A and B are shown apart, each in its own frame.
Chain A
Amino acid sequence: MEASELTGHISRRFDKDIEDLRNNVLAMGGLVESQLSQAIAAIVSGDSELGLQVAKDDYKVNNLEVTIDEECGRILATRAPAASDLRLIVAIIKTITDLERIGDEAEKIGFLASKLAAMDRPADSYRELKTLGNHVAHMVRDAMNAFARLDIEEAWETVQEDERVDEEYEAIQRQCITFMMEDPRSIKRVMNVTWCARSLERIGDHAKNICEYVIYMVQGRDVRHTLGSEATGSETSE
């Protein structure tokens, strides 16, 4: 399926509805991406104002989710779409839920960043969170790119990327435990770092979900919980 194949219905209005819907989802994706990158920047630069701003701006993401959800409902009710159109709508309904969750996690990170900014800062100014954050931000961007281009190869690559994010999260977790054992006074601060890492790891999972919806939308097969073990072209799906 190509992006251009989404259009070409007898009803021009339907084409336009679907195109607008897609554009809105991608605009929401863009907003979430910028929220996430700002939240990461707030941690790295210790900018409490920026962190709080991110937390405050989450309502924009929520508003978009509600708008898109309503629009999906309207299209389902009035157009009764079938085949690839139906898959598109279903995938969009799921995608925006995950995007909204990513927004929530970004809000949480922004809030934690403003707390961390008030505490002692380690010499490396949270380099490990920055690395993990950039990695995850890349995943979200690739997921939205795959959605825009209906590119299942990119989607698969992103799905597999999640394992590396999990490994990095694991490493940060261990590092944090070591810090806490070495100096119990740092527990309060390091707990916040752990929460940040946890949120970032969750964002990676959501990005992975979005990629799975893209594969579902394009190929019509469900690749969830198959652990990415099968290759793109395999026929083993039930």
Chain B
Amino acid sequence: MSDAAKKLLSGIALLLIGGAAIGWIYGRPDTGLLVAALLALVWQVRQLLSFDRSLRTDNFDDFRVGEGIWEQMFSRFRFERDRAARRKQAYRELLKEIRKSTNAMPDGAVILTEENEIVTCNRAAKALAGLKRKKDRGQRVDNILRDPGLTKLLQADDKSETVEIASPVGDGKWLNCRVVPYGADQKLLLLRDVTERMRLSKMRRDFVANASHELRSPLTVINGYLDALSDDEQIPPGWAKPVEQMQGQAKRMRKILGELLELSRLEGSSTVKEEEPIDVVALFENAQQAFEGHANLADIVVNADSKARLRGSAAEIETVIVNLLSNAARFTPTDGTITLTWRSGPDGADLIVSDTGEGIDPEFVPRLTERFFRVDKGRSREDGGTGLGLAIVKHVLARHDAELTITSEPGEGSEFCCSFPTSRVVVSPLVALS
């Protein structure tokens, strides 16, 4: 108990005792007690009213009659009030600084609620995406930036994905959007200007496509003459072998150019447009037939575990199968086996090409899908590989939302597994029956 409280209690006690004593002298102790109690009540009520008045008028000089515990309470209140005001000021300054720094950010940032409603955004978001801080508060962000890609991104569970959308302000500008969840149920939408990057990568793609295209026409002429020469029986006998080799190399060059063009086409758009249900097993059998009859070929076994269909482009999936199969065929000895497996489960479906060939050194596995990467420089060039097959496979799979996993044991064989998500798999029994 504080001193002031003790003083207050003892003061009241003294007053009451005093009142009772004076009453006792006059023979009326109860009246004396009552008068003393009333006096104490009046005194306290007066201070209470004064306290209330000075709080209301905010004028501390009004609080004149205060003493003891009232004065203490009053100064405590004053102290807390000043402290709160100082704190508020400090927070305000801090908020200003934070807002200043977010406004200075070159990337747009939009704070969203769980329902994708805009809470606030920084200056860059206004400039890049034409958002209005006051007017758009509470609006769903995909109502203002109405790009179907962004809507899909906001609904997606995978928060590592990004999407490029055309900026609504400024023609030809591209924004890269990314959603980062934070706090309990808030999200941050980050917008970055990628116009320049998009332009550069388009330039690179166009260059590769144009260069391949331009190289093709002179090659056609060379090919034509080489064909004519090889059919000509009058050429000196010493030239037959060189002509044949030239023909072989020209053919290889044409194949590389064709695959480069194919790659730049695949890179052009990020997802596949066709969505027909593909019978993967039928594609397996086609590929098997195409390869049978080649000399020095290992056994090809088709292992159809699933009747599920795959949604996507049949032509592209066929390219994947043929590329993986021809790789396997090149590295598997005649007495080995190549297995083509199609299986589906609750997590999606897998297309697997495995072989019992020589396998790949684990240190090279991550680099296999690079363009023109070769494990054994001399050898794969001789047997007709272009060095682009797995790059094409990777791009086709990316267009089908699939992933390529390569597992290999040197001397045991390798397994190329393409995992497709459930959204790409059709398991309808009707389709399977037809």
Query: Contacting B151 at CB < 8 Å: which of A30, A33, A134, A148?
Result: A30
Would you call B144 and A148 a contact (CB within 8 A)?
Answer: yes
Q: Which residue of A lies closest to B132 (CB)?
A: A149
Q: For residue A30, which residues in chain B have a CB less than 8 angstroms away from its CB?
A: 142, 146-148, 151
Contact of B273 with A34 in the complex, beta carbons under 8 Å: no
CA–CA, A170 to B413, complex, Å?
70
Interfacial residues of chain B within 153-170, with CB under 8 A of chain A in the complex:
166, 168
CB interface residues, A 144-201, toward B, < 8 Å: 144-145, 148-149, 151
Query: In the bound complex, what is the Cα–Cα distance between A134 and B170 (angstroms)?
Result: 11
A223 within 8 Å of B by Cβ?
Answer: no
* Stretch binding the partner chain, chosen from B78-86, B133-141, B338-346: B133-141
Is the Cβ of B171 less than 8 Å from the Cβ of A26?
no
Given the interface contacts A22-B143, A26-B146, does A37 sit within 8 Å of B166 by beta carbon?
yes
With CB as the reference atom, state the residue of chain A lying closest to B137: A4
A97: interface (CB < 8 Å): no
Contacts of A27 in B (CB 8 A): 142, 146, 148, 151
Chain A 1-37 interface residues, beta-carbon cutoff 8 Å to B: 3-4, 22-23, 26-27, 29-31, 33-34, 37
Give the contacts of B170-195 with A (CB-CB under 8 A): 171
CB closest residue in chain B, given A147: B143
Is A53 on the interface with B (CB-CB < 8 A)? yes
Partner of B138, one of A3, A26, A29: A3
Given A27-B151, A53-B273, A134-B171: A33 in contact with B146 (beta carbons within 8 A): yes
Q: Is A141 engaged at the interface, CB distance under 8 Å to the other chain?
A: yes
From B139, B146, B166, B171, name the one whose CB has the most chain A CB atoms within 10 angstroms: B146
Shortest CB–CB separation between residue B273 and chain A, in angstroms? Answer: 6
> Would you give the shortest CB distance from A127 to chain B, in whole angstroms?
13
Contact mask for chain B residues 242-283; partner A; CB cutoff 8 A; 1 contact, 0 none? 000000000000000000000000000000010000000000
Give the residue of B139, B146, B273 whose beta carbon is less than 8 angstroms from that of A3: B139
Q: Are B135 and A149 in contact (CB under 8 A)?
A: yes
B144 touches A141 (CB 8 A): no
For A29, the chain B residues whose CB sits under 8 A away are 146
A71-82 interface bits toward B, Cβ cutoff 8 Å, 1 = contact, 0 = none: 000000000000
* A34 & B147 in contact (Cβ 8 Å cutoff): yes
Whether A148 lies near B143 (C-beta < 8 A) is yes
Question: Given the complex of chains A and B, what is the CA–CA distance between A144 and B145 in angstroms?
Answer: 10
User: CA A98 – CA B146 in complex, angstroms?
Assistant: 17
Cα-based distance from A26 to B145 in the complex (angstroms): 9
> Which one of A31, A53, A149 lies within 8 Å of B139 (CB-CB)?
A149
**In the complex, A23 Cα to B146 Cα: how many Å?**
10
Nearest CB in chain A to that of B116: its residue: A23
Q: By the criterion CB–CB under 8 Å, are B148 and A31 in contact? A: yes
Specify the chain B residue showing the minimal Cβ separation from A32.
B146
**A148 / chain B contacts, CB cutoff of 8 Å:** 139, 143-144, 146
Question: Which positions in A face B, CB cutoff 8 Å?
Answer: 3-4, 22-23, 26-27, 29-31, 33-34, 37, 53, 134, 141, 144-145, 148-149, 151
Q: What are 23 residue pairs bridging A and B, where the CB atoms are less than 8 Å apart in the complex?
A: A23-B143, A26-B140, A27-B146, A27-B148, A27-B151, A29-B146, A30-B147, A30-B148, A30-B151, A31-B148, A33-B147, A34-B148, A37-B166, A144-B146, A145-B144, A148-B139, A148-B143, A148-B144, A148-B146, A149-B132, A149-B135, A149-B139, A151-B135
Binding site for A on B (CB under 8 A): 130, 132, 135-136, 138-140, 142-144, 146-148, 151, 166, 168, 171, 273
In order of increasing CB-CB distance, the 4 nearest A-B pairs are: A30-B146, A26-B143, A148-B143, A29-B146
